[in-house]
Amino acid sequence: MRKNESNMKNRSLAGKLSNESYLNRVMFLVLITLFAIASMTIKNYFSTATALNLVANNWYIVILGVGVTFLLVSGHLDMSVGGIVAMAGVLSAYFCQPANEGFSELGQGLGMPYGVAILLTLLCCLVIGALNALFIAKMRVASIIVTLGTMSIARGIGQVAALGAQRSAGLPDIFGVIGNVPLFGPIKIAAAIAALLVIAALFIEKKTSFGRRTYLIGANREAARLSGVKVERHIALLYLLSSLLAGITGILLASEMKAGISTRGSGFEFSALVVTLLGGASIDGGVGSVLGMVIGAMILGVVSSAAYGMLLRPEWQFILKAIVTFLAIIAQRYLLDRRNK
Amino acid sequence: MEANVLEIKGLVKDYPGVRAVNEVSFEIKRNVVHCLVGENGAGKSTLIKILTGACERTCGEILLNGAEYCARNPKDAREKGISTLYQELNVVDQLTVEENLTLGLEDTFCGFLRKTDKVKKIIAVLKDLEPNINPKERVGRLSVAKKQIIEIAKAVAAETEIIIMDEPTAALSESEINRLFTIIKRLREKGVTVIYISHRLDEIFTLGDYVTVMRDGKHVATKPISEVQDRSELVQLMIGRTVIESYIPKETQAEEPLLELRNVCNHKLRDISLTVNRGEIVGFYGLIGAGKTELARAIYGADDYSGEILLHGEKLGGTPEKAIRAGIALVPEERRTQGLFTLLTIKHNISAMNLKKISNLGLINTTRERNAAKSYIGQLNIKTDSMDKETSKLSGGNQQKVVFSKCLFANADLLILDEPTRGIDVGAKAEIYSIVRELVAKGKTIMFFSSELPEILNSCDRIFLLYEGEIKAELRNGNDINSQDIIHIVTGGAAS
């Protein structure tokens, strides 16, 4: 595999599979097994359409999962992403609705060109990220408390700006374009954007010093500081990144529906956290991977679609998802403990 | 009743690779203040841990009131009559004094607390010891000294026979110490035996009836304080004839100052000024709590300070990140919590302090990282089958070598070593000393902070003695150095 194959000493020091690759393989096996079970028990489940739908219906969790994974690896939670999705959707609509149309209050916007509206929306999302950064990185308040707060703030801004409903009247045609460019079948351009982000994130995570510092901070914040890592600045950057990704997700989802809906994205923060944990990340930091998170998202996707296929009433989906998540995470702990004994 | 409340016979405690307590035998008389002294690592703490049930003895016998005594855990020890006042106090800040005193002893009636005679008795004991504590006061608002008294009262009320006090005065002010001494004397009147451990020798002369000296895990002497002539006799017993074998005085070179401290102060340090020259090994010796770690961390920029710290004549920036860039690296005191990323692999640990060296424009070159790891595993003889092994799986000595590798990879000119041999076995210690010497031979400068005198004497060219955050003396190492004088100074005696 490596160039200097002849160097025996080097090879003997290379060692066995890391815990991370081991877990990723295990979870991939779980994904295949679940898919196989679903294919055997549900008629017509095993099809290209199912596979494509898996991608088409889960891309947004994957984008959010990227930011959440980096933060979790650094030892921090981000519960604000769902709220930011809602806020971004509503604001992007509000900014480019016509200024003086006078349909109703909900049709009244700021009349900006779509490009400007997007930039301004992302800026607003970054402000939420900056709030997270200020309280968590600088003032060292527990991340769960701060991000639950900013989740409410962001969702609240969305609610206020959409008067508790949605903004769709009078939107320019261009608003609905970016979320609806078809690629093939049910897959639209948003899924491709998610794929590109994942590839970039995989690269950053494993091949850059930025990614490495994230692991160092999560593994031992004090040791990282004493090793010269600018810990506060790094955590601040991670929160800004996560809020930006949530903003992008919100804009894409609003474009897809051609409406800024203030209730959008509820529960997304939990899904993003769950898929990250399914991917083998540790809630204490230092462990986790983007690849694992993607596999986790696929597992959750298979479970939901299988539940749908089994004609389970949608209410039951929550419980089914919870059971699968618990089993998977308990199995992970068990396997890792046995392996590292 | 027996004259001896406690008899220890042939007590041994083995840890992997080291015998911490070696055939210790002595007696403690009833109703006295019995002091226990010795250098750090002499075996005092291990002995106490066995008495309190925090660890198991390897062999030997302990008799309490003439009957075989064996505590399974601290609670068991307390029930059998041995209570301990730890440095880390065992009180609940959120509760009131009264609630703390009766914690675990509450009587209830239908789930409601009842104020029984038992409770009244405990409060009476507290009133007797220290009338100035209001039982309704929240404990979090009390000083450390008062919290100690609450713990003592709890022990007395439980009719304990022996109270062990581990450095009880470490965090107290002068007047609080005097009050504690009064209380200890009153305890003696009440028939309680106190085992008193302190590094401050003066306290032992003020307070003690008997003293036991330990050294290298062995019992050296037990005698009445009245038979001890002066503190220098005690110091002599504590260190014995420490032979300085391996220090070889260096040729005096032209002195080129590398690091300069001017009037450095902070919460612990008091007006520290000193110069470290290029190519020196400078030792900093003092007992636990003398301010060694605080000084090391201030120089590294890990803690705040006032005053000036200059490297090559230029002021340092005051953060670890800037210190590393200026050419300083720190091997911290707590290996597992401050030095090492135990979740991560050896190779990721080694590169952590200098990611620039293995990357171009933020992209990590993994070949360079592997080569660096391979080279340090070889150079420092880190025993592992793989550089991809998590460092949590290594032994203490090998973990410390990984931390050293990390600092060396940072290309530091000045290495600050804070207790670099703590918790590692004798063989690894020797390896660490030889690494230190090699580094100096390669032109590095070392600041060596330690609370073990022999290692300071065997490695350092110059030695600063610290006591209570101050530099009390500066010595040049050599044949004429007198370890008794050193112990005299670091235990609070006046410098001669």
Rg (CA), chain B: 25
Strand residue runs (E) in B89-170: 107-109, 112-114, 162-166
What's the start-to-end Cα distance of chain B, in Å? 48
Q: Report yes or no on B452 lying in a domain.
A: yes
For the record, the structure tokens of B150 come out as 């609450």
Residues on chain A touching B339 (C-beta within 8 angstroms): 223, 226
Residues on chain A touching B324 (C-beta within 8 angstroms): 227-228
Write the CATH number for B324.
Answer: 3.40.50.300
Are B51 and B166 within one domain?
A: yes
Q: How far is B470 from chain A (nearest CA, A)?
A: 25
Are B303 and B423 within one domain?
A: yes
In sequence order, the β-bridge partners of residue B84 are B164
Determine the pLDDT at residue B283: 95
Contact A216 B359 (CB under 8 A): no
- Interface residue of A74, A216, A227 to substitute, partner B, most B CBs within 10 Å: A227
Are B88 and B166 within one domain?
A: yes
Q: Report yes or no on B182 lying in a domain.
A: yes
**Banded pLDDT at A212 (limits 50, 70, 90):** very high
CB-nearest to B343 from A16, A225, A286 is A286
Determine the pLDDT at residue B303: 93
Q: CA B45, B46, B48: angle at the middle one, nearest 5?
A: 65
**Contacts for A187 with CB less than 8 Å, ≥ 6 apart:** A52, A55, A56
Chain segment A240-284, per-residue pLDDT in tens: 999 999 999 999 999 999 999 999 998 899 999 999 999 999 888
Q: Report yes or no on B133 lying in a domain.
A: yes
pLDDT for residue A9 is more than 90: no
Residues on chain B touching A16 (C-beta within 8 angstroms): 386, 388
Write the CATH number for A29.
Answer: 1.10.3470
Q: Report yes or no on B247 lying in a domain.
A: no
Side-chain half-sphere CA neighbours of A17 within 13 A? 10
pLDDT for residue A1 is more than 70: no
Determine the pLDDT at residue B309: 95
Are B234 and B305 within one domain?
A: no
Side-chain half-sphere CA neighbours of A161 within 13 A? 29
Confirm whether pTM is higher than 0.80.
Answer: no
Contact A12 B385 (CB under 8 A): yes
Residues on chain A touching B352 (C-beta within 8 angstroms): 212, 216, 223-224, 227, 229
Chain segment A56-104, per-residue pLDDT in tens: 889 999 999 999 999 999 999 999 999 999 999 999 999 999 887 666 7
Determine the pLDDT at residue B40: 67
Q: How far is B38 from chain A (nearest CA, A)?
A: 32
When divided into structural domains, chain B yields a total of 2
Q: Which of B239, B267, B285 is the last residue of a domain?
A: B239
Are B399 and B466 within one domain?
A: yes
Domain hosting residue B281, numbered range: 257-490
Q: Which of B239, B271, B289 is the last residue of a domain?
A: B239
Mean pLDDT of B176-192: 88
Contact A220 B352 (CB under 8 A): no
Are B40 and B81 within one domain?
A: yes
Pairing of strands B193-197, B162-166: parallel
Chain A residues with a Cβ under 8 Å from any Cβ in chain B: 9-10, 12-16, 18-19, 207-210, 212-213, 215-216, 219-220, 222-230, 286-287, 340
**Contacts for B45 with CB less than 8 Å, ≥ 6 apart:** B166
Query: Is this prediction's ipTM beyond 0.90?
Result: no
**Contacts for A271 with CB less than 8 Å, ≥ 6 apart:** A61, A64, A300
Are B71 and B204 within one domain?
A: yes
Q: Which of B217, B298, B268, B203 is nearest to B492 (CA)?
A: B203
Determine the pLDDT at residue B189: 87
Cβ contacts below 8 Å, chain A against chain B, sum to: 106
Q: Report yes or no on A4 lying in a domain.
A: no
Chain segment B429-459, per-residue pLDDT in tens: 778 888 998 899 898 999 999 988 888 988 8
**Contacts for A337 with CB less than 8 Å, ≥ 6 apart:** none
Q: Report yes or no on B252 lying in a domain.
A: no
**Banded pLDDT at A309 (limits 50, 70, 90):** confident
Q: Report yes or no on A151 lying in a domain.
A: yes
Q: From residue A226, how far is each of A200, B299, B402 by CA, in Å?
A: 29, 12, 15
The answer to whether the CB of B276 falls within 8 A of the CB of B444 is: no
Q: Report yes or no on A132 lying in a domain.
A: yes
Q: Report yes or no on A183 lying in a domain.
A: yes
Determine the pLDDT at residue B1: 58
Are B229 and B265 within one domain?
A: no
The owner of tokens 């009433």 is A313
When divided into structural domains, chain A yields a total of 1
Q: How far is B87 from chain A (nearest CA, A)?
A: 24
The owner of tokens 């720190």 is B330
Determine the pLDDT at residue B242: 47
Contact A14 B388 (CB under 8 A): yes
Percent of all residues in chain B with a pLDDT value above 90, rounded to a whole number:
42
Q: Which of B352, B470, B338, B364 is nearest to B408 (CA)?
A: B352
Domain hosting residue A127, numbered range: 18-339
Q: Report yes or no on A63 lying in a domain.
A: yes
Determine the pLDDT at residue A16: 60
Chain B residues with a Cβ under 8 Å from any Cβ in chain A: 300, 302, 320-321, 323-325, 330, 332, 337-345, 348, 351-356, 359, 362-364, 366, 370, 373-374, 377, 384-390, 393, 406, 410
Contact A230 B321 (CB under 8 A): yes
Contact B386 A16 (CB under 8 A): yes
Element (H, E) at B21: strand B18-29
Round the average pLDDT of chain B to a whole number and report it: 87
Contact A15 B389 (CB under 8 A): yes
Are B230 and B267 within one domain?
A: no
Contact A226 B342 (CB under 8 A): no
Chain segment A14-31, per-residue pLDDT in tens: 446 788 888 899 999 999
Q: How far is B191 from chain A (nearest CA, A)?
A: 47
Q: How far is B337 from chain A (nearest CA, A)?
A: 7
Q: CA A147, A152, A155: angle at the middle one, nearest 5?
A: 120
Contact B388 A287 (CB under 8 A): no
Q: Report yes or no on B251 lying in a domain.
A: no
DSSP class of B447: E
- Interface residue of A4, A8, A13, A233 to substitute, partner B, most B CBs within 10 Å: A13
Are B121 and B229 within one domain?
A: yes
By CA distance, what is A209's nearest residue in B? B362
Q: Report yes or no on B117 lying in a domain.
A: yes
Q: Report yes or no on B496 lying in a domain.
A: no
Contact A15 B370 (CB under 8 A): no
CA distance B343 to B391: 7
Element (H, E) at B36: strand B33-37
Q: Report yes or no on A72 lying in a domain.
A: yes
CB-nearest to B363 from A12, A15, A207 is A207
Residue A15: phi, psi to the nearest 5? 80, 180
Contact A14 B406 (CB under 8 A): no
For the record, the structure tokens of B106 come out as 């509450």
**Banded pLDDT at A6 (limits 50, 70, 90):** very low
Q: How far is B403 from chain A (nearest CA, A)?
A: 10
**Contacts for B103 with CB less than 8 Å, ≥ 6 apart:** B92, B95
Are B368 and B279 within one domain?
A: yes
Element (H, E) at B330: strand B328-331
Are B348 and B394 within one domain?
A: yes
Q: How far is B12 from chain A (nearest CA, A)?
A: 31
By CA distance, what is A227's nearest residue in B? B353
What distance lies between CA A267 and its chain's CA centroid? Answer: 12
The answer to whether the CB of A289 falls within 8 A of the CB of A20 is: yes
